[in-house]
Amino acid sequence: MRTRRSVRRPAPALAALLLAAALALTGCSAGDDASGGSNSAADRGADDKAVSGEAAPGGTGSGAGATAPPKLAASHIIRTASLTVQVKDVPKALEQARTGTENAGGYIGDETTTRDAEGHERTRVVLRVPVEKYDEVLAELEGTGKLLDRSAKAEDVTDQVVDVESRITSQRASVARIRELMDRATKLSDVVTLEGELSTRQADLESLLARQKSLKDRTSLATITLSLSETPVKKAAKDDDPGFVDALAGGWSAFVTMLRWLAVAFGAVLPFAAVAALIVVLWLRVVRPRLPRRPAPAPTATALGPLPTARPAPEATQPRTPGERD
């Protein structure tokens, strides 16, 4: 009996000792967690920034990174401008504009060159430049000559870009679901129906992708329409008093103008004159010969009787020679 009591007595003391040691260890671990909580949170924030592509300042975690304001979503703006510049040499100014555009990372679009009746050259060219170089290239183009006209426009299409991206995501998921249904279809009629639906949805998806590509091109590259016109050559000032040559030139001009108007009047009257002449010829040659002639007038009667009609005078008789008979 004594042996059993001697063995069992140390058990409660051992249990109490183990419990105290556990409490002590728990307190220490809690203190360590409390003191190192901020560091672990900062480390997690630094890890998150490292994953998202942002590095913590100084290479170490800090609470400032966690409280930084969130980055705003990028806006999508279509920028267009139109410039009309008067220069002395159009080819030289065009080459300068082409060089500046290519150095900015852009390219030349449509180009049209014409020449007026006086020999002045005019060029219209479309430039596509990156948005970040838009203001720089625009200022450079304005300095090539005398600015005659300028217009600029900015259109915010952020809502359209977001809407198109959302619709593309939904359409891709819809196409994937149709393909899954086609893989599980067993009837030929179901397969035909699903193929028609898949073609329709793929066409809609391609249309959305084309629209997304167009929006991306128009928002990433600004469009500048540049019109270059050559400076007209100034003419020498003339004397105010006209001379003999000026009077002769003016008289000749008036004479030519008179002849021109006479020719115009003759041309206007000629059709009517031709028709009148034709009518006169028909009357004289065709109509008049066929008309009946008037009868001779009857002899006039008087109280003494009818007047004798006029007879032609007798012919003069030649003197008879001897031997001739009546």
- Distance in Å from the first CA to the final CA of the chain: 230
In a domain, 271, yes or no: no
Q: Are residues 150 and 175 in the same domain?
A: no
CA distance linking residue 142 with residue 226, whole number of Å: 10
In tens digits, what is the pLDDT along the chain, a chain of 326 residues?
A: 344 444 444 444 444 444 444 444 444 444 444 344 444 334 434 344 333 343 444 444 444 444 554 444 568 899 999 999 999 889 999 999 999 999 999 999 888 888 877 778 899 999 999 999 999 999 999 888 899 999 999 999 999 999 999 999 999 999 999 999 988 888 888 889 988 999 999 999 999 999 999 999 999 999 999 999 987 645 444 445 667 777 888 888 888 898 899 888 888 888 888 889 889 888 888 877 777 776 666 555 555 555 555 555 555 555 555 555 54
> Scanning the structure block, which residue is given the tokens 């009868």?
295
Q: Are residues 87 and 148 in the same domain?
A: yes
Q: Which of 39, 11, 76 is nearest to 217 (CA)?
A: 76
CA distance linking residue 218 with residue 207, whole number of Å: 17
Q: Are residues 98 and 56 in the same domain?
A: no
Q: Are residues 180 and 212 in the same domain?
A: yes
Q: Which of 153, 43, 40, 144 is nearest to 84 (CA)?
A: 144
In a domain, 100, yes or no: yes
Last residue of a domain, one of 61, 88, 116: 61
In a domain, 33, yes or no: yes
Q: Is the dihedral of CA 47, 50, 55, 59 positive or negative?
A: positive
Give residues with Cβ within 8 angstroms of 275, minimum separation 6: none
Give the residue numbers spanning the domain of 212.
159-216
Q: Are residues 136 and 207 in the same domain?
A: no
Q: Which two tokens stand for residue 299?
A: 């002899």
Q: Are strands 221-230 and 77-87 parallel, antiparallel or unpaired?
A: parallel
- Count H helices, E strands: the chain? 9, 7
Q: Are residues 116 and 148 in the same domain?
A: yes
In a domain, 287, yes or no: no
Where in the chain does DSSP place strands (E)? 77-87, 107-115, 121-130, 146-156, 221-230, 301-302, 305-306
Last residue of a domain, one of 193, 216, 239: 216
Assess contact for 105 and 160: CB atoms under 8 A.
no
In a domain, 264, yes or no: no
Q: Are residues 93 and 153 in the same domain?
A: yes
Q: Are residues 147 and 163 in the same domain?
A: no
Structural domain total, the chain: 3
In a domain, 43, yes or no: yes
Grouping H, G, I as helix, E, B as strand and the rest as coil, residue 129 is: strand
Grouping H, G, I as helix, E, B as strand and the rest as coil, residue 234 is: coil
pLDDT score of 236 = 40
CA distance linking residue 131 with residue 104, whole number of Å: 10
In a domain, 85, yes or no: yes
Assess contact for 43 and 60: CB atoms under 8 A.
no
Last residue of a domain, one of 198, 230, 262: 230
Strand order in the sheet with 146-156: 107-115, 121-130, 221-230, 77-87, 146-156
In a domain, 167, yes or no: yes
- DSSP code at position 324: -
Q: What is the pTM (predicted TM-score) of this model?
A: 0.46
pLDDT score of 309 = 57
